[in-house]
Amino acid sequence: MDLDFGSLPARTVYNLLTSAVTPRPIAWVTTVSKEGVVNAAPYSFFNVMGHEPPTVALGLLRHQSRGTKDTAANILDTGEFVVNLVPAALAGPMNMTAADYPPGEDEIALAGLAPLASRVVRPPRIDGCPVALECASHTSIMTGPGQFVVIGRVLSMHVRDDVLLDPARGYIDAPALDLISRMHGSGWYARSTDLFQLERPG
Tens of pLDDT, residue by residue over 85-109, are 999 999 999 999 998 888 778 899 9
- Structural domain includes residue 125: yes
Element (H, E) at 110: helix 107-110
pLDDT at 67: 59
- Mean of the pLDDT values across residues 46-53? 97
What local confidence, expressed as pLDDT, does residue 48 receive?
A: 98
CATH number at residue 146: 2.30.110.10
Q: What is the mean pLDDT of the chain?
A: 94
| Residue 89, domain member (yes or no) | yes
Rounded to an integer, the average pLDDT of 154-181 is 96
CA distance 150 to 140: 4
Largest CA distance in the chain: 53
Neighbours of 144 (CB within 10 A): 9
Give the range of the structural domain holding residue 71, as residue numbers without chain letter. 22-191
HSE-up of residue 74 (Cα within 13 Å, Cβ side): 24
The answer to whether position 10 is within a domain reads no
Query: Is the residue at 196 inside a domain?
Result: no
How many structural domains is the chain composed of?
Answer: 1
Q: What's the pLDDT at 65?
A: 60
In a domain, 104, yes or no: yes
